[in-house]
Structure 1
Amino acid sequence: MDLPDQITIKEVGPRDGLQNEKKEISTEDKIEWINQLSESGLSYIEITSFVHPKWIPQLKDAVEVAKSINRKEGVTYAALVPNMKGLERALEADVDEVSIFMSASETHNKKNINKSIEETYPVLKEVVTGAKEAKKTVRGYVSTVFGCPYEGPVDENQVVDVCERLFDMGIDELSLGDTIGVANPRQVHEFLCKMEHVLLKDQIALHFHDTRGMALANTATALQLGYHTFDGSLGGLGGCPYAKGATGNLATDDLVHMIHEMGIDTGIDLDRLTEAGFFIQDKIGKPLPSKQMQVRAKE
């Protein structure tokens, strides 16, 4: 295998993981969890979302959380921002990186953002411009890249068009999402090979969901193609509220375990990371799907 010596893992649990949880997690516990994540060796943590609280009540304390965490040097603290009002709050909270989001499929975009794809572009362009003027880096998320819960397979040309439009706005990195966990290694291989002439690998992250237990296999496929940035949610926390049954992001701790066993460096202390996983599992009050945590619980 031709594998990288090191990869970057971006932790999205405090945002993508918590946003769909029914049990409300206290602000103090969110802050403590993020502080624990900061001490695990992670270099990137997506800490919250500045979406209107009526849409995501779990993250209504976004400003307080962002202002109260202990910021560790060398760690990027990012947040999801849907529009200019959200950007105002994100800048008030002084996040390091602004994340924008949309879908590659029309129906999912309308369900998720309440706008068509074409209507979404000018809103996001405003956010990117405002964030850049404030000297912030910008990350884009594209959902339903490998399949949509409403439309099924998504036309690759449509995916490419969305990606190119976002890069034209000036984003620094793009995370390609398997929102409902339908991708398989062959599909991932074929798709990423076709995308090579369009997108630079250094500007792409992969965001796999483990709905059908395929996330690590898909990650290994992308690794062999030279991709080296991956999103994860500690413990496998999270899912997609608009995709029935799409529970569970790729568990960061399972990803770290696999990568370390393959002899690749992440800079992450797996013991500390797992301890942070048990902390948030206790606060949520239910077992998380991570295999790593299941093994550690029996030791």
Structure 2
Amino acid sequence: MIDLVIDQRRKDLGGFEVGRVLPFAQRRMVGPFIFFDHMGPAEFQPGFGREVDVRPHPHIGLSTLSYLFEGEMTHRDSVGAVQPIRPGEVNWMTAGRGITHSERFEHLRAHGGRMNGIQTWIALPVEDEETDPGFAHYPPDQLPTYEGGGMWARLIAGEAFGAKSAVRTHSPMFYIHWRLDAGAQAQLPAEYPERAAYVAQGVVEVDGRQFHEGQMLVFAPGEPVLFTAVTPVIVMLLGGEPVGPRFIEWNFVSSSKDRLEQAKADWRAGRMKLPDADHDEFIPLPGDPPPPANPMS
């Protein structure tokens, strides 16, 4: 039933840590999901430095999906979107042929508080890799929920359990937020060929084994999976139909290595527009020298 267990690898992003889960050496993708980061949990005091902000950087060939349990951050991108995201909301950005964006933490900087959430990258199907970039924000009331038997569930994106999220996706997939009370049981059906579950909080039992916060379970196809909450838990369910192998380098995802090289050249040469509110800084391509100081800043 369980094909693989992936432990998060903690990485410091210059002010707070994330738990990197995907991609993993033995499992690059689950359905269209090619990147999975658990942001935090982290506690911030008011007035922390700007080094925590994620400066403008580019993407191609994917969609990003941001979802928070706690905290607030502000998305800015090169198609003109400026959108705070709060717990239970979805920010969905489609990079397509190319987009740049930043993530800012003005609210936490002013007020302090916790940051805890998940950011995923979802590879676009080959026919949509060069689609126009775009951005959409979805409030919680557009995401189906269910409650009963010690379980609360929200369908963040895709289709599952007979429900469909309002989030516009590009391929068959599902992404679900489960909260289970201690002792509660819930079952993941076998309707998709690729499925995984990430334990975001607490301890859960699957197939007679216990798993804890920071572990992703990747399941074999064809059988439903029964979960039992040992403690109160938060579990993120994800997967879908595979979209085929992808190459990934830095922030770029593509089915073509040549397209990755073109994206790197475009970023290095300054051919990708920065967000209007972020024109004075950006993250250089890894291995390139840092950008010169802006004398006007």
Q: Higher helix share goes to which structure? A: 1
Give yes or no for TM over 0.5: no
Normalised by the length of structure 1, the TM-score is 0.31
Q: Which is higher, the Rg of structure 1 or of structure 2?
A: 2
Normalised by the length of structure 2, the TM-score is 0.31
Q: Higher strand share goes to which structure? A: 2
